[in-house]
Amino acid sequence: MDRSKKESTMARFKKEFTKGLIISNPVFVLVLGLCPTLAVSTSIDNALGMTLAVLIVLLGSNIIISAIGRFVPNITRIPIFIVIIATLVTVVNLLFHANLPDTYESLGIFLPLVVVNCIILGRAEAFASKNSVVYSIADALGITVGFMLALLMLSFIRQVLGTGSLTAFGIHCFTLPVLGEHPISIFILPAGAFLVIGLLMALFKRTGVIKND
């Protein structure tokens, strides 16, 4: 009895985790948090920095909100959620400023803007406030990994085509033969972000990775 319950918990944990990767990928399927996705996908470094920030905030807010969600009356639900999220974001902001100054600089206002990232409030409302702490952790991890996959895809394409080379964490990985001299700068410009996400989304629809609406 106890054992089968434990197994089903594991199975459910796995299910909540994997759904965030593709089936309800926050960027390509739920289309949440577009602003940071497009803005910070200019380099792999920025993408990973943003992922780290989202991971800490989403994990924290999902844990806290799933733990206290029951005691929060409906009328103050949103204000309380917002205060919790804003506090976590400020903590991340200060920690990044102190320990990862370069990432802090290049993320700019998109680090504090994690507060209004629809992914976080969306998960708090739609999932964490109704589910247990354990599943909320699974949900947070899954959504973050899904977010990271999308960000890495976008930033890899944009950085490689837009600068002609790939540098991550100060390590130079490779330079493309012709593009290294003449990079296609449009990919690194804001316009490039719209182009790449539009084409990727169409590609995923065409190949059936994500369902049509």
Partner 1 sequence: MTNLVAIFLGMALINNFILVRFLGLCPFFGVSKKTNSAVSMGVAVTLVMTISSLATWLIRHYILIPYDAEYMDIVIYILVIATLVQIVELFIKKTNLELYNAFGIYLPLITTNCAVLGITLINATQGYSLSGSIVAALGGGVGFTLVLLMMSGIREKLELADTPKSMKGLPIAFITAMLLSLAFIGFGGMI
Partner 2 sequence: MKDKSGFKKAWPIILLTIVVVISVSGLRYIDSITRSKIEAQQEQKIESMLSGMFPKMTQYDYDAEDDIYTIKTDGKKIGYAFIATGQGYGGDIDILVGLEDETTIKSISIISQKETPGLGTRITESPFIDNFNGLKINDAQLSRDDGKVDAITGSTISSRAVVDAVRTTALEKVKLLNSQKEGS
Binding residues for partner 1 (CB under 8 A):
31-32, 34-36, 38-39, 78-79, 82-83, 86-87, 89-90, 93-94, 108-109, 112-113, 115-118, 121, 186, 189-195, 197-199, 201-203, 205-206, 212-213
> What is the nearest approach in angstroms of partner 1 to the Cβ of residue 5?
38
Q: Smaller CB distance to partner 1: residue 85 or 137?
A: 85
> What is the nearest approach in angstroms of partner 2 to the Cβ of residue 209?
29
**138 vs 119: CA distance, rounded Å:** 15
x/- track of binding to partner 2 for residues 111-150 (CB under 8 A): ----------------------------------------
Q: Which residues pair with 168 in a beta bridge?
A: 171
180 touching partner 2, by CB under 8 A: no
Q: Is 31 left (phi over 0), alpha (psi -120 to 50) or beta?
A: left
Range list of H helices, the chain: 2-19, 34-40, 44-68, 77-99, 101-107, 118-123, 133-163, 190-207
Amino acid residing at 35: C
* Binding range to partner 2, per CB under 8 A, among 5-13, 89-97, 135-143, 146-154: 89-97
32 touching partner 2, by CB under 8 A: no
Q: Is 108 left (phi over 0), alpha (psi -120 to 50) or beta?
A: left
> What is the nearest approach in angstroms of partner 2 to the Cβ of residue 139?
22
188 touching partner 2, by CB under 8 A: yes
Closest C-alpha to 64, from 116, 122, 133, 117: 133
What tokens does 71 get? 């005691």
The one of partner 2, partner 1, none whose footprint includes residue 43, by CB under 5 to 8 A per kind, is partner 2
DSSP code at position 131: S
Closest C-alpha to 156, from 28, 42, 53, 33: 42
> What is the nearest approach in angstroms of partner 1 to the Cβ of residue 14?
30
**201 vs 209: CA distance, rounded Å:** 10
Residues that bind partner 2 in the complex, under the rule CB under 8 A? 42-43, 71-73, 75-76, 79-80, 83-84, 86-87, 90-91, 94-95, 97-99, 101, 105-106, 108, 159, 162-163, 183, 185, 188-189
